[in-house]
Structure 1
Amino acid sequence: MAGWVLLNISIMCFLLLLSGFPSYSASSKLLCNPDDSSALLQFKSSFTIYCTSDFVNCRPPSPTASWEIGTDCCSWDGVTCDTMSGHVIQLELGCGCLHGQIPPNSTLFHLTHLWRLRLDSNNISGELPSSISNLQQLIYLDVSWNNFSGQLPDVFGKLSKLTFLDLTMNNFEGQLPSSLFDLTQLSNLYCSSNKFTGPLPENITGFSKLTELTLADNLLNGTIPFWCLSLPSLGTLWLNNNQFTGHIGEISAPLLRALYLSGNKLQGSLPESIFDLENLSVLSLSSNNLSGQVNFHLFCKLNLYLLSLSKNRLSVNFEYSENYIFPRLARIGLSSTNITNFPKLLTQLERLEYLDLSDNRIQGEVPKWFYEIGKNSLTSLNLSKNLLTSMEQFPWNNLEHLDLSSNLLSGDISSSICNASKLEIVKLSRNKFTGIIPECLLNLSSLTVLDLQQNQLYGILPGSFSKQNNTLTSLNFNSNQLEGPLPRTLAHCTMLKLLDVGKNQIKDTFPYWLQTLPELRVLVLRANKFYGVITDAKSNNSFPKLRVFDVSDNNLSGPLPAAYIRNFKAITNAVQEESSLQYMNNVFIEDTAGVIYASYEDSIQVTIKGVDMVLEKIITSLAIIDLSNNRFQEKIPQIIGKLQQLKWLNLSHNKLTGAIPKSIQNLKNLESLDLSSNMLTGEIPAQLSNLNFLSVLNFSENHLVGKIPQGKQFNTFSNNSYEGNVGLCGPPLSRKCNNEPSGESPPSLISHNEEKIGFSWKPVAIGYGCGMVFGVILGYRVFSTGKPQWLVRIFGGELNRRARRTRTRSRANHGRMH
């Protein structure tokens, strides 16, 4: 009985205890602070909300979809409230589908209790307002992956509690504000991929707790200050892809694990202090001006996973290195480091994933022991730009990227290459490979890029492209000896951006069926045996993204393909859709940390002034149409003037007739224009002198007449641009233009005058019949002897006046026609 009493008393006490804390009872509900609720709704109303698929990790709908008047804001997606006061303390709007700007008086800055604000992956533009300093409780601020621009406000003195700041992937510019370097609590600072300029400050008072500093991909310059390399807590330093100069100073950051200094203008030798960083796992120093000799065995003191010394003026010495152990080394970049042999050190690297020995002086056959390294781990191998003559095996099952270009490799391409079933990029260009293309190579399900240009491959191009080849973006077979027709199964490659089969022996009609490929940007069919008329486009959406169209040096005939030209939307659009600073089909190979350790860019051959040139990279703003050296006839269509982004136009060596279209004046971006070796007539339109970017011009070997336009770019062209047009006159030609009859008229005008003179004698022949012979003899005697003088003056003068009127009328007619 006593036990029951005690139990009941305990239960009553527990219930009374619970009743004393009503705010934590299960039935209670936290209500949002009404001022904060209103501020959030007004903040939302200042944006347009729509979701796109721009970011892979973003999933619609927007978090703000749950924000409704009359509901508790503490229950809204992305909103966290303080359990006691109901104030909003966290706002998570990453991938929030916000489009617009944040005005300086935004109600966002009324949420003064916020300690975490995340706007990751929206489309917010304009400047970041200085009124963000009102949020003085902020610990975490993330505005990365937006379109913010302008200078970063210098207000961080009021945001002294910040421990995390991410400004990555915006358009911020100018110098980093000085107050940023005074933050004493900051542990993570990410400012990469902006347009920050100027040097870093020499002395700072903050950053004592900084563990990660990321300033990569900006325009920062000057020398790297001492504090950058000596922060006591720093674990990762990203200064790559800027414009830093000078020497790398001594490094005394004891906890440093990753140092990225690649893509700058750093000079001198490696500091000895690098070899004392026992925790260093990543050292990336590629693409600088570093010099001197490096003894590779010294790196064994470190705990390296990635080492990149590529593209400097360093010489790497592997002597004694075989006697040292590198237990974690998996990624090695030693391009352009004066290596003459395969380092035997590679045999001990059981985890080798990435190896770049390109642009060295390694020659001869690939040794047998090399095929044993990284059999199950190697994913990327670059041996390009060496003097290799033979490579018999491809034993790497997990290989994804293979570059053997620019060597002396000969013989057949071994079908063992297909054992690497995960291959994505295969670059075997600029070698001496012979034989046929292994069909299994085209059947690799992951294949993205296949570059076999400039070899001696022959046979029919395999036609095994299936609907599974939807990963292919680039196929380059230029400068081989391939025959037969173009396989129609290429139409299955719906992701194809570049197709180059130039300089082969392919015999076929124009592949109109390629017009359905939605991503095709480059189509090169030059120097083959394509023949016949280019049939009309089957759709108003043919070749929608095509920017390079080269069918030169074939046997194509008929009129120019006006229907296709009209549909080249990527060139006819007045506004360039993609950044002109980017490259077509630029493939970056990154590691899990986003570090680019290899890349691929498409390349093509073009002809300028009759000279073949190789474009190692194809800038996205490039737009070329080359229809030269065919048998095209009829007039140049006026629709050519719609190609407002066109850079190079070559219609030379055809049988084109008629006048030069005045619509060419609309091609304001045109840099090269070649209409030579045709049968064009009429005058050169004076409006073409307004093409300000024109640097190459060739109108030679036509039937053009009249005065050559003067002014601007036209004053820079030489005689060669106009030779072979006997009717042209004026500078730079020595033939002067003169409205008065000259002693020697152009052949076309002499012929014209002779016809008129002959016509004037016809009434004599008709009217006097049998007296024609007498009249002709009399006329000859009169004009040859000059007697009687009065008769010569009368008829001679009349004839001269008629000739002048005829020439005047002829010019007037030309003016109306052209």
Structure 2
Amino acid sequence: MITWKNGLDCCSWDGVTCDNETGNIIDLDLSYSCLQGTLRSNSSLFALHHLQSLNLAFNNFCTSPILPELSVFVELRHLNLSYSNFLGLVPIEISFLSKLVLLDLSENYKYDDMIGTQRLKIENTGFKILVQNLTKLRELNLDFIDMSAVLLSSFMNLSSSLMFFSAVECNLQGELLPNIFSLPNLLDLNLDYNDFTVSFPKSNWSRSLESLTLSYTSISSKIPDSIGEFKNLKTSYLSNCILTGSIPSSLVNLTKLTTLDLSQNELIGHIPSFVVKLEQLMDVDLSFNNFTGVLNLGVFLKLKNLQLETLALPSCNLIEFPPFLNSLKMLRELDLSENKIGGQIPTCGEIPSSICKVSSLISLGLARNNLSGSIPQCLGNLANLSSLDLRGQWPEEYFLRLLNLITVDLSNNRFEGPLPIPAPTTQLYFSANNKIGGKVSPLICNATELRILDLSNNSLMGALPECFMSFSKNLSVLNLRMNMIHGVIPRKFAKDNKLRTIDVSRNRFEGTLPRSLLHCENLEVLDLGNNRMKDTFPDWLGTLPKLQVLVLRSNMFYGFVSSPREARSFSELRIFDLSNNNLSGPLPVSYIMKLTAMMYQDKRQGKPQYMGDGYYEDLVMVTMKGLEIRLVKILSVFTSIDLSSNHFGGELPVNIGNLKSLKGLKFSHNNLTGYIPLSTGNLTELEWLDLSSNKFIGMIPQDLADLTSLAFLNLSENQLSGPIPRGRQFNTFNSDSFAMNPRLCGFPLSETCTNNPREIPSWRAILMGYGYGTVGGVSLGYIVLGSRKFEWLTGSLERKGANMRKKWRRNARRSYQR
């Protein structure tokens, strides 16, 4: 908008187009103009009554609503309000713009930590009127709008002139009726990431459709033979749709097909050889189905023009490398992981179809095969290779430095030997869950582009190189847990670093914490548990503004926990674990009552949210319900406090019930005194409470019995008195929960209350209690346990990453084509 100056003809301004005869402004394109603020009804914009095209995309209108005053633009043909931070309801007045040919309202949302994602929303009536009135509409993009109130029967009224329709991740539910596949002019249909079922038509498919995307919906049926009627279909994305049965032979009729994605379904039978007639195919993904038999790769040799750019055949029962690799001059992504390929990786020059000849390769996946022998050095000649997955075979220590790799994943095997050194260009490096030994070489500090470094669960030993905490300002995740590294944590953390997660738990680190940790202003997870660190409580960590997980358990921290230095000290903390140390003095009540992140119950709905990002999700050990549990994923709503096995004295805070989102509370094995506060009955999310081995007196608050989520309780070894409350959950606890309190009486103890006799609860009441505890605890779904489950999680994250990459690639291609 630099050219927008007084005294100049406005028709010469950037983004402004005028009618040559009348001089009226007919086209206003203000996209990417850094506009910010609320759009108001008295804006001079609404004086431009002759507008035929209005583009306000990629600006920030600060969650202001889309105004009904837009209806004044009666001549409007194109309206684009995408990516502009509009919220509220789509006004029904949009449907008055009867000449619209293009309407794009996509990607208008705002994320808030407390209430989750807020979206632009359209009601059923508004949508129904919109599609009835906009009969000239050719392009309609509603991606990420909340359409949960829209009935899919409204799609019956979509304009027959519609050519492009996209409603990705719109919370659509119900049954998608087959008429949408018969719209006569439809070229591109994209409805993925919705929760509806799909009914395919038995015939009368649209002959015009070129792109069909229904990934992550619930088709839950066979691919109909009638799909062969899509004569002009070029791209088909049907991943993760619960497709069953075999691939129909009618796909052979789709001769213009360039992209076929049927991955992550339940398809069975042999992979058909129909590909020999699909000469335009460039991207094929048939991974993670239930195919039987061995795919005859020789059929690919019959293709006249091998133009494949992507070939993904994981878990397809392959027993050999494709014999045509050296013919794929354009191949960029090759994934043959989780097959039964045996023997050595072809050595450069020995086999005509050698992998080393595919110079265009960017991504190579060979994980979990039966490969043996050394890895050919000629892979170092693949100058474009940026992602390598070799899980299942072990590279030499310095091999990776020869490759220009961005992603390296060697995790979840039994590899031994020294740690391979990544290339300076590597950004993501995973080698967790192996038997890698020896010291961490200082050469790793040359990998200055690293964003994620996960070396956990190996046999690394020795001290870390001094450069280790400051070699990459881009590093966001550092995971060294479960090794045998000793010495002090390197003292220098770089200023302005991006570290989000530091996990050095279960090693042999000694000494004190480096104060330079204060440079980690983005830190969310700090896990130093199970080491040999000897220091006073690091209250200065409370100034880190984003810290959510602090685990100092099982070290040698000592002394009093002094009062907070800052008014909002540890205000974002959700997991606070100081257990099994030598801390003493009064219980740190002033810290506990400043844990404001635990004071608000999460009201967000939809899919569970986990800490981490698309490449890495955090893991932590907690003592939960009397057991030490490994949380392979941490729900963003998970909260717990564990100060057990220290030497704290004093009383529990009277208003501890303010921590309304607390899931677990463990203060056992201290010297705490006084009464159990009545406000504990306000902890309605509480699932486990352990106050055992202290000196509490008085009666157990009756309101505790009404905590329907409470599944574990231990009040043993105190000086409590009086009758044990009766209620849904208390009826399920056995005598161990109350043992060694001489003055307690009533069920489930053998001592009866002489002054207040009570009946033994019925089994029906006991079962009701178990039911409530199960709903409150297990259904939350934040526990993923054990090594078996770890493989499931790893696979899940792999597929999530692959799906993200496919989605980016797909969107980029669409943008280019349009």
TM-score by length of 2: 0.76
For 1:342 and 1:463, how far apart are their aligned partners in 2? 45
For 1:339 and 1:629, how far apart are their aligned partners in 2? 53
**Paired residues of 2:658 and 2:683 also in contact (CA < 8 A):** yes
Superimposed CA distance per residue, residues 239-268 of structure 1 (whole angstroms, 9 cap, x where no aligned partner): 223433444444322232223333444444
Letter in 1 for 2:282: S
The correspondence for 2:105, drawn from 95, 114, 119, is 119
- Please report how far the alpha carbon of residue 130 of structure 1 lies from its aligned counterpart in structure 2 after TM superposition: 0.4
- Please report how far the alpha carbon of residue 481 of structure 1 lies from its aligned counterpart in structure 2 after TM superposition: 0.8
- Please report how far the alpha carbon of residue 139 of structure 1 lies from its aligned counterpart in structure 2 after TM superposition: 0.7
For 1:354 and 1:372, how far apart are their aligned partners in 2? 14
| Structure 1 residues 361 and 681, CA gap change in structure 2 (3 angstroms) | farther
- The number of residue pairs the alignment matches comes to 678
In the TM superposition, 1:797-812 aligns within 5 A as none
**Paired residues of 1:295 and 1:317 also in contact (CA < 8 A):** no
Say if 2:59 is the partner of 1:60. no
For 2:562 and 2:234, how far apart are their aligned partners in 1? 63
Residue aligned with 2:546, SS: coil
Say if 2:717 is the partner of 1:701. yes
Q: Which has the larger radius of gyration?
A: 1
| Structure 1 residues 709 and 602, CA gap change in structure 2 (3 angstroms) | same
What residue in structure 1 maps to residue 87 of structure 2?
99
What residue in structure 1 maps to residue 392 of structure 2?
none
What residue in structure 1 maps to residue 235 of structure 2?
236
| Structure 1 residues 62 and 705, CA gap change in structure 2 (3 angstroms) | closer
Say if 2:332 is the partner of 1:330. yes
For 2:343 and 2:456, how far apart are their aligned partners in 1? 22
What residue in structure 2 maps to residue 218 of structure 1?
217
Say if 2:285 is the partner of 1:284. yes
Residue aligned with 1:633, SS: strand
What residue in structure 1 maps to residue 489 of structure 2?
461
| Structure 1 residues 604 and 319, CA gap change in structure 2 (3 angstroms) | same
- Please report how far the alpha carbon of residue 649 of structure 1 lies from its aligned counterpart in structure 2 after TM superposition: 1.4
Which runs of 5 or more residues in structure 1 are unaligned? 1-23, 38-50, 589-598, 742-818
Say if 2:346 is the partner of 1:353. no
What residue in structure 2 maps to residue 751 of structure 1?
none
Letter in 1 for 2:310: L
For 2:278 and 2:290, how far apart are their aligned partners in 1? 22
What residue in structure 2 maps to residue 814 of structure 1?
none
Residue aligned with 1:222, SS: coil
In the TM superposition, 1:39-188 aligns within 5 A as 60-61=36-37, 67-68=44-45, 70-74=47-51, 77-78=54-55, 87-102=75-90, 106-122=92-108, 123-128=119-124, 129-132=127-130, 133-150=132-149, 151-157=151-157, 159-188=159-188
State the identity as a percent.
35
In the TM superposition, 1:488-503 aligns within 5 A as 488-503=515-530
Superimposed CA distance per residue, residues 57-85 of structure 1 (whole angstroms, 9 cap, x where no aligned partner): 985357878554544442885399xxxx9
What residue in structure 2 maps to residue 746 of structure 1?
none
- Please report how far the alpha carbon of residue 429 of structure 1 lies from its aligned counterpart in structure 2 after TM superposition: 0.9
**Paired residues of 1:355 and 1:382 also in contact (CA < 8 A):** no
Superimposed CA distance per residue, residues 26-75 of structure 1 (whole angstroms, 9 cap, x where no aligned partner): 56323889xxx9xxxxxxxxxxxxx9xxx999853578785545444428
**Paired residues of 1:699 and 1:721 also in contact (CA < 8 A):** yes
Residue aligned with 2:215, SS: coil
- Please report how far the alpha carbon of residue 740 of structure 1 lies from its aligned counterpart in structure 2 after TM superposition: 9.0
RMSD between superposed Cα atoms in Å: 3.4
What residue in structure 2 maps to residue 520 of structure 1?
547
What residue in structure 1 maps to residue 310 of structure 2?
306
The correspondence for 2:582, drawn from 555, 562, 586, is 555
For 1:329 and 1:164, how far apart are their aligned partners in 2? 30
Letter in 1 for 2:79: L
What residue in structure 2 maps to residue 400 of structure 1?
427
- Please report how far the alpha carbon of residue 456 of structure 1 lies from its aligned counterpart in structure 2 after TM superposition: 1.0
In the TM superposition, 1:421-440 aligns within 5 A as 421-440=448-467
What residue in structure 2 maps to residue 505 of structure 1?
532
Larger displacement relative to structure 2 (372-381 or 664-673): 372-381
**Paired residues of 1:194 and 1:217 also in contact (CA < 8 A):** yes
Which runs of 5 or more residues in structure 2 are unaligned? 1-17, 58-72, 109-118, 347-353, 386-401, 758-818
Letter in 2 for 1:78: N
Letter in 2 for 1:449: V
Letter in 2 for 1:152: L
- Please report how far the alpha carbon of residue 228 of structure 1 lies from its aligned counterpart in structure 2 after TM superposition: 4.7
| Structure 1 residues 576 and 26, CA gap change in structure 2 (3 angstroms) | closer
- Please report how far the alpha carbon of residue 547 of structure 1 lies from its aligned counterpart in structure 2 after TM superposition: 1.2
- Please report how far the alpha carbon of residue 613 of structure 1 lies from its aligned counterpart in structure 2 after TM superposition: 2.0
Say if 2:692 is the partner of 1:691. no
What residue in structure 2 maps to residue 262 of structure 1?
263
- Please report how far the alpha carbon of residue 457 of structure 1 lies from its aligned counterpart in structure 2 after TM superposition: 1.0
**Paired residues of 1:94 and 1:121 also in contact (CA < 8 A):** yes
- Please report how far the alpha carbon of residue 710 of structure 1 lies from its aligned counterpart in structure 2 after TM superposition: 1.8
Superimposed CA distance per residue, residues 420-448 of structure 1 (whole angstroms, 9 cap, x where no aligned partner): 32221111111111122234343212211
What residue in structure 1 maps to residue 478 of structure 2?
450
Residue aligned with 2:484, SS: coil
| Structure 1 residues 219 and 213, CA gap change in structure 2 (3 angstroms) | same
- Please report how far the alpha carbon of residue 405 of structure 1 lies from its aligned counterpart in structure 2 after TM superposition: 0.9
- Please report how far the alpha carbon of residue 572 of structure 1 lies from its aligned counterpart in structure 2 after TM superposition: 0.6
- Please report how far the alpha carbon of residue 371 of structure 1 lies from its aligned counterpart in structure 2 after TM superposition: 6.2
The correspondence for 1:644, drawn from 660, 670, 694, is 660
For 1:421 and 1:372, how far apart are their aligned partners in 2? 22
- Please report how far the alpha carbon of residue 623 of structure 1 lies from its aligned counterpart in structure 2 after TM superposition: 1.1
- Please report how far the alpha carbon of residue 331 of structure 1 lies from its aligned counterpart in structure 2 after TM superposition: 3.1
| Structure 1 residues 267 and 497, CA gap change in structure 2 (3 angstroms) | farther
For 1:216 and 1:320, how far apart are their aligned partners in 2? 28
| Structure 1 residues 720 and 167, CA gap change in structure 2 (3 angstroms) | same
For 1:267 and 1:540, how far apart are their aligned partners in 2? 61
**Paired residues of 1:672 and 1:697 also in contact (CA < 8 A):** yes
Letter in 1 for 2:532: Q
For 2:626 and 2:168, how far apart are their aligned partners in 1? 46
- Please report how far the alpha carbon of residue 458 of structure 1 lies from its aligned counterpart in structure 2 after TM superposition: 1.1
**Paired residues of 1:364 and 1:389 also in contact (CA < 8 A):** no
- Please report how far the alpha carbon of residue 495 of structure 1 lies from its aligned counterpart in structure 2 after TM superposition: 1.3
- Please report how far the alpha carbon of residue 667 of structure 1 lies from its aligned counterpart in structure 2 after TM superposition: 1.2
**Paired residues of 1:79 and 1:88 also in contact (CA < 8 A):** no
For 1:618 and 1:331, how far apart are their aligned partners in 2? 32
**Paired residues of 1:156 and 1:183 also in contact (CA < 8 A):** no
Letter in 2 for 1:185: N
The correspondence for 2:345, drawn from 343, 346, 354, is 343
Residue aligned with 2:181, SS: helix
For 1:229 and 1:77, how far apart are their aligned partners in 2? 40
**Paired residues of 1:114 and 1:135 also in contact (CA < 8 A):** yes
| Structure 1 residues 638 and 318, CA gap change in structure 2 (3 angstroms) | farther
For 1:720 and 1:334, how far apart are their aligned partners in 2? 54
For 1:273 and 1:115, how far apart are their aligned partners in 2? 39
For 1:26 and 1:257, how far apart are their aligned partners in 2? 43
For 2:370 and 2:746, how far apart are their aligned partners in 1? 56
For 2:753 and 2:639, how far apart are their aligned partners in 1? 37
- Please report how far the alpha carbon of residue 691 of structure 1 lies from its aligned counterpart in structure 2 after TM superposition: 0.9
What residue in structure 1 maps to residue 389 of structure 2?
none
The correspondence for 1:545, drawn from 560, 569, 572, is 572
What residue in structure 2 maps to residue 272 of structure 1?
273
**Paired residues of 2:177 and 2:199 also in contact (CA < 8 A):** no
| Structure 1 residues 550 and 283, CA gap change in structure 2 (3 angstroms) | farther
Residue aligned with 1:724, SS: coil
Residue aligned with 1:638, SS: coil
Residue aligned with 2:655, SS: helix
| Structure 1 residues 711 and 500, CA gap change in structure 2 (3 angstroms) | same
In the TM superposition, 1:28-43 aligns within 5 A as 28-30=22-24
Q: Which of the pair is proportionally richer in helix?
A: 1
